[in-house]
Amino acid sequence: MHNLSVIRIQNMTLRNRNATLKIRKKKGNKTMNRPGFSPMQNFSAELIERVGCISVWQMYTILYKLCQAKPSVVKYMLHDFTAKGICHFDSKQQYIVAGKSAYNQLQKFDKNTIYGIAVALAVIEDPSDYKTIYKPFYGEDLRFMSGDKAYAVLVNKEDNISKLMFYQKQYDDYIKEAAKRYIKEEKVAEAYSKLIITYPIKADMKTAFKNVESLELTMPHALCFTEGNGIFEEIKIRMAEA
């Protein structure tokens, strides 16, 4: 059982949590300038560092939407990154992991991050918001903003309800804290990050819907089902708003 002080530390207050995301977005246009790097290279290097891993297909897609970069240009850049120790490929060159090599870095491949980026690509309308994508140190699998709305992605199995109960408990505690300050639940819901509950490819939709409905979730959320031939190609998204 988590007391309110622990939850407050983990999630920040509603004001600080969303302010942090807005600051991240505003400062997103000011990437760290690396000597000799173009804006595209700076953005790409920072994105890889923020998410830890990303599929090559996703990298191509993001850079094409952001700056119309050709695959050949992106491929050359990524190989240059490997030479500089910014990232490395897997043996089949299907995904990228931050760090010099698999034997000399803290980041590891995480398929949940790949799913999270797929959701971000489907939800984000303005490519400039790609600069808000990042992987938290704990909790959700990915966070990002689209416009002024904050989103969190949680990859979940169709029969796993314990994670959802945990996040609903956090939301309930927020509501209680807000009520003490005479803040209505509607206002909390508007400011609260929307949790996109994402299911891996081939997940059982009926089981997922049944389990979520049984919880009667009141936190801002949506169900997301993924389709495709594999996580290293295009992942298609089917979103069910709650």
* pTM confidence score: 0.84
Confidence of residue 19 (pLDDT cuts 50, 70, 90): very low
**How is domain 1-28+112-242 classified at the CATH fold level?**
Trna Endonuclease; Chain: A, domain 1 (3.40.1350)
CATH classification number, 31-109, choose in 3.20.20.150, 1.10.10.10, 1.20.1740.10, 3.20.10.10: 1.10.10.10
Instruction: Show the tokens assigned to 172.
Output: 């309930």
Least confident of 13-22, 38-47, 85-94, 203-212: 13-22
Mean pLDDT of 84-95: 92
Instruction: Show the tokens assigned to 191.
Output: 């400011």
pLDDT, tens digit, for every residue of 183-208?
888 888 888 999 999 999 999 999 99
pLDDT, tens digit, for every residue of 91-134?
899 999 998 875 555 568 999 999 999 999 999 999 999 999 99
Report the mean per-residue pLDDT for the chain: 85
**Domain residues of the chain, as ranges?**
1-28+112-242, 31-109
DSSP-derived secondary structure for the chain: ---HHHHHHHH--HHHHHHHHHHHHHGGGSPPPPTT--HHHHHHHHHHHHHSEEEHHHHHHHHHHHH---HHHHHHHHHHHHHHTSEEE-TTSSEEEESS-TTS-S----HHHHHHHHHHHHH--SGGGGGG-B--SSSSSEEEEETTEEEEEEE--TT--HHHHHHHHHHHHHHHHHHHTT--HHHHHHHSPEEEEEE-TT--HHHHHHHHHHHT--SSEEEEEEESS-TTS--EEEEEE-
pLDDT, tens digit, for every residue of 154-169?
999 888 899 999 999 9
